[in-house]
Amino acid sequence: MSKLSDCIINKKISSKPIWFMRQAGRYLPEFRKIRKENKDFIKLCLNPDLVKEITLQPISRFKLDAAIIFSDILIIPYGLKQKVEFKKGFGPTLGEIEFEKIGNFNKQDFINRVSPVYKGIEKTKKKLKKTNLIGFAGAPWTLLVYMINKESPKKSFNIRNFFNDEERLLMLMLKIEEFIYLHLKKQIEAGADTIQIFDSWAGLLPENKIKKFCIDPTQRLVEKLKKLGQPIICFPRGINKKYEEFCKIVKPDCISIDYDIEPSWILEKASGIPIQGGLDPKILLGPIEDLKKNITKYISTFSNYPYIFNLGHGVLPETKPETIDFIVKFIREKND
Ligand code: 1CP
């Protein structure tokens, strides 16, 4: 059994599997080269051969325990015929969408639009032996935010007016949920053996709305997905103390923590659920002694607990590939 599965499924504590969110991406020169030749990001995500090549780039460089399929959470809005563009230095821009039509959107049309993702998974899977292949999607709330806001909330986001028609939002999330489920099911059928759900913007929610907009929809999704037999990792970024309630209600197979979460706190609150991640990606840009100290904090806090080493968010584009190599070797020396 692979190290990642052993940790999540068997709750094995002896060796700590390692992978990095956004491990395939802009910090790698070999990715930047392909990206330069492929100006249309969505088209790149829909090219199975390049998806395979990019997914495997970090696997050939570093001794990692999981590959994550090269794709994007915004493939779902694209599949629902919302225009999605990535402008250099600006992030994603989305087009208009008639939300009322999502409910009747033909499932087969959706699958046809995004099927190269599944083909990419099949091709990648053939090249991997003991390395897990992670499929993923955005959580209902995070997708709703992008689909309504039409650009990154980093650029602008008006939370006050967002909840004017709460019932409508909840209904839209239910519709989006169906497509997230379908997309993840297809990824599992194509060969993804672990799933991660990214709720990257859960931290935008006021505390009294976290249950309704993050915890409840994710719980419904996880309950359905668990029946497909592959482990589910959840990453509800930015919900602070609500991580405890999230673990109790959603019961994911593994909980991925952000860098605001104190490792010793979550150790007590995660109800025995395997934990992943935590290290602030900015630490990778600083002095090596700081980096060592921080890695050691996570590894030693979770020494008697099933723990997957990862960051508290994605690898930053400024990160040196040598730093990733250093981290992997540093942890392996301590643990293997
Ligand atoms: O060259 C470029 O400009 C493209 C950069 C890029 C890359 C490499 C984007 C645009 N997406 C990706 C790939 C990607 N996205 C992966 C697979 C690669 C890997 O992890 O190794 C994954 C898992 C994602 C997931 C993703 N996309 C999330 C969730 C994780 C997170 O970082 O919070 C989110 C929020 C997105 C949206 C998105 N896509 C791309 C960018 C720059 C963003 C963030 C936009 C924003 O800041 O709001």
- Which two three-digit tokens encode residue 77? 């809005």
- Which two three-digit tokens encode residue 42? 């969505």
Output the residue whose Cα is nearest ligand 1's atom 12.
72
pLDDT at 147 over 90: yes
Q: What is the mean pLDDT of the chain?
A: 96
Give the DSSP H/E element, type plus range, for residue 135: strand 132-138
Note the pLDDT of residue 336.
62
Domain ranges (residues) in the chain: 3-335
* Distances from the Cα of 41 to the Cα of 28, 74, 120, 121, angstroms: 16, 11, 15, 18
Note the pLDDT of residue 87.
85
* Distances from the Cα of 239 to the Cα of 128, 200, 204, 257, 263, angstroms: 34, 10, 8, 10, 15
Q: Is 197 in the pocket of ligand 1 (CB under 6 A)?
A: no
Q: What is the mean pLDDT of residues 50-57?
A: 98
Q: Is 34 in the pocket of ligand 1 (CB under 6 A)?
A: no
CA 43 – ligand 1 centroid, Å: 14
CA 72 – ligand 1 centroid, Å: 6
pLDDT (tens digit per residue) in 281-290: 999 999 999 9
Q: Which CATH number applies to 3-335? A: 3.20.20.210
Q: Is 154 in the pocket of ligand 1 (CB under 6 A)?
A: yes
The more confidently predicted of residues 87 and 153 is 153
* Distances from the Cα of 253 to the Cα of 14, 31, 60, 197, 245, angstroms: 18, 31, 28, 11, 15
Output the residue whose Cα is nearest ligand 1's atom 2.
26
* Distances from the Cα of 271 to the Cα of 14, 209, 276, 306, angstroms: 19, 23, 14, 12
In ligand 1, the atom with minimum distance to the C-alpha of 155 is 48
Cα separation, 103 vs 272, in Å, equals: 37
CA 73 – ligand 1 centroid, Å: 7
Q: Is 22 in the pocket of ligand 1 (CB under 6 A)?
A: yes
Cα separation, 280 vs 100, in Å, equals: 39
pTM above 0.95? yes
pLDDT (tens digit per residue) in 204-221: 999 999 999 999 999 999
